[in-house]
Structure 1
Amino acid sequence: MVNLRDFDLNLLVIFKTIMEQRSISRSANELGLSPSAVSHALGRLRDMLNDQLFYRTAKGLEPTDRANEIIVQVEDGLAFLSNAISAQQQFVPATSTRVFSMQVADYVSGFFLPSFSSRIRQEAPNITIDIVPFSISADSVWDRVDVQIRLTPGRLKPKAVRSQRLMLDDVVVIMRPDHPSASEPMTAELYASLPHVKLSQSSTGTTVIDDALAERGLQRHSALIVSNWDTIPDLLMQTDMIAIVPSHLLSLDQRLKKLKAAPLPLEEVVFSFDLCWDKSSEKESGHKWLCETIVEVFNAQTQEVDK
């Protein structure tokens, strides 16, 4: 076992940087050190770990098998230490100028963001909320995004991230009240036969509807695919297309009150909305405040609908 009293933890920071940069000079520039200081630190690490760690190639430094083995533990350990220290630095919403990045599912952004923004302006007027689109993969953004409010099709919770369920909702089919099929019972066959306007898969991240129809030997015609929810209610009022929404949205979007709604005839399909975050940041005080605020605002909104 290494005696930590004799081990300089800064060496691990330098090791992690070299793994990222694959260059002594670029690592030195990143760390604000001289190349000779980085080379000296790497030499000390090689002696301590009894491994070359990196070898030179025409493309730059390449890690040894040993380096590849330990980098995950090094990154986890440094993240843990960083968060433990950050947790001691109290986050003060009223004076903070921090920037938080979020991904918000398009279905709920319309009713959530106005109330959330109002709350933020009262409690933390100097922070910035950056909304990042879901066109960026929902599973590979944790270096850019603090939290997600994410559509999770079905009842299962998201994998590989920390999550808290915000809402589990039924799905309804909507159309204009004088639609030619408005008076017909909504069956799976009728639903599949009508022209659909739907959110793009990059916006929702799911094909659950099409999968459920395929299991019944059915296929729908997506007449129009759009990138955001806001245009859909107006499109429905002027066409014979249909769409689906979470049932809670019927009471939260005034435009939907003018449309006819019927239960989606695919009983297994539900919409779950989850607050998700990466485990490495969950103990940091600003992050905890952000998550708690999101949950409180979301609960207030949905409880108002359920009254």
Structure 2
Amino acid sequence: MNLRDLDLNLLLVLHQLLIDQQVSVAAEHLGLSQPAMSNALKRLRTALNDELFVRTGRGMQPTPYAASLAKPVAQALALLGQALQPRIAFDPTSSLRRFTLAMTDIGEIWFMPRLIEALLQRAPGVSVTTVRSDAQLSEGLAGGTVDLAVGLQPDLQNGFYQRRLFIHRYVCLCRRDHPLTRQPMTSDDFCRQAHVHVAATSTGHGEVEQHLRRAGLQRDIRLQVPHFVAVGHILQRSDLVATVPERFASTCLVPFDLVALPLPVPLPEIAINLFWHARYHKDPANQWFRDLMFELFSD
């Protein structure tokens, strides 16, 4: 028979009859009236084309076919019952879960030190892997290979949740004794400087660069790099300047003896959000991890 033609509720009836072998007792255990139970048995016999149970002096005895169904039906119902149990709460203190975060290198610089510190204290068995956002990010989030994405992700719309962490504002970063630090910086001063440009076109920082070009600000770009990791080292030993997010700048001031100056031109503020797929919206582990991210980094 085709499973689509069978009312699966009848499997509960069959299972209980196989246990009790009395219609009245099985009906009581299932919360049914005896006529309803008898009707269900009639439907089962029709659907399975077998008598299933016959009356004897010892009650309703299963036919060989009904007896052969006892074990697989019990296993199937038990499996369904387990699957439909309430979600098991996530215990960070005992979990060995590895979470995967999609972010840029500037995200690693800002998020990772504080996040790892918190995990070592609260969830000592939990570990983290970071990956770069790419064209397969939405598939990774939907498939569970990536748990969360952080940043500006305009392509993650339908089927995704997002939550604001903070707003990126931009500053001009340079060494402490740079000539720019001697007086307020004008837009001409800014454009005349030798710049290091981080070519992060697929990120929110890329939008800032586009805004500068649209505003007609022609900078003297002496060095272009694909990421932020080397910016502090470069500025420390040169007269180059860089336009960088304020939070990144704050991580460079002391280690590289740099200063952050207000920009003389208005730049758009970039929203940094946390993204996750709707499939994992109620997953206890995912909920715990994103709540931790929000607690640690939200403005």
* Distance (whole Å) between structure 1 residues aligned to residue 86 and residue 224 of structure 2: 44
* Distance (whole Å) between structure 1 residues aligned to residue 262 and residue 85 of structure 2: 48
Offset, 1:157: 11
Read off the aligned partner of 1:228 and give its amino acid letter: H
* Distance (whole Å) between structure 2 residues aligned to residue 227 and residue 4 of structure 1: 56
- Contact 1:116–1:294, Cα closer than 8 Å, also in 2: yes
| Segment drifting more, 246-255 vs 287-296 | 246-255
Alignment match, 1:269: 268
Alignment match, 1:106: 105
Distance 1:100 1:246, change over 3 A: same
Q: CA RMSD in A?
A: 3.3
What is the count of residue pairs matched by the alignment? 221
Alignment match, 1:200: 199
User: Which structure has the greater CA radius of gyration?
Assistant: 2
Alignment match, 1:210: 209
* Distance (whole Å) between structure 1 residues aligned to residue 133 and residue 95 of structure 2: 27
Alignment match, 1:179: 178
* Distance (whole Å) between structure 2 residues aligned to residue 242 and residue 86 of structure 1: 58
Show structure 2 runs of 5+ residues with no match.
Answer: 9-82
Read off the aligned partner of 2:98 and give its amino acid letter: V
**2:222 aligned with 1:235, yes or no?**
no
SS in 1 for 2:101: strand
Aligned identity (percent) is 25
* Distance (whole Å) between structure 1 residues aligned to residue 222 and residue 86 of structure 2: 50
Tell me the TM-score normalized by structure 1: 0.61
Distance 1:280 1:237, change over 3 A: same
Alignment match, 1:92: 91
Alignment match, 1:125: 124
* Distance (whole Å) between structure 2 residues aligned to residue 202 and residue 250 of structure 1: 19
Distance 1:119 1:100, change over 3 A: same
Offset, 1:223: 2.6
SS in 2 for 1:225: strand
* Distance (whole Å) between structure 2 residues aligned to residue 232 and residue 247 of structure 1: 14
Distance 1:252 1:99, change over 3 A: same
Distance 1:191 1:278, change over 3 A: farther
Read off the aligned partner of 1:200 and give its amino acid letter: A
Read off the aligned partner of 1:244 and give its amino acid letter: T
Offset, 1:100: 1.1
Alignment match, 1:170: 169
Offset, 1:206: 4.5
* Distance (whole Å) between structure 2 residues aligned to residue 279 and residue 183 of structure 1: 52
Alignment match, 2:68: none
Alignment match, 1:292: 291
Tell me the TM-score normalized by structure 2: 0.62
Q: Deviations over 1:241-261 (max 9, x none)?
A: 111233244444443683232
Offset, 1:147: 0.4
- Contact 1:246–1:271, Cα closer than 8 Å, also in 2: no
Show structure 1 runs of 5+ residues with no match.
Answer: 9-83, 303-307
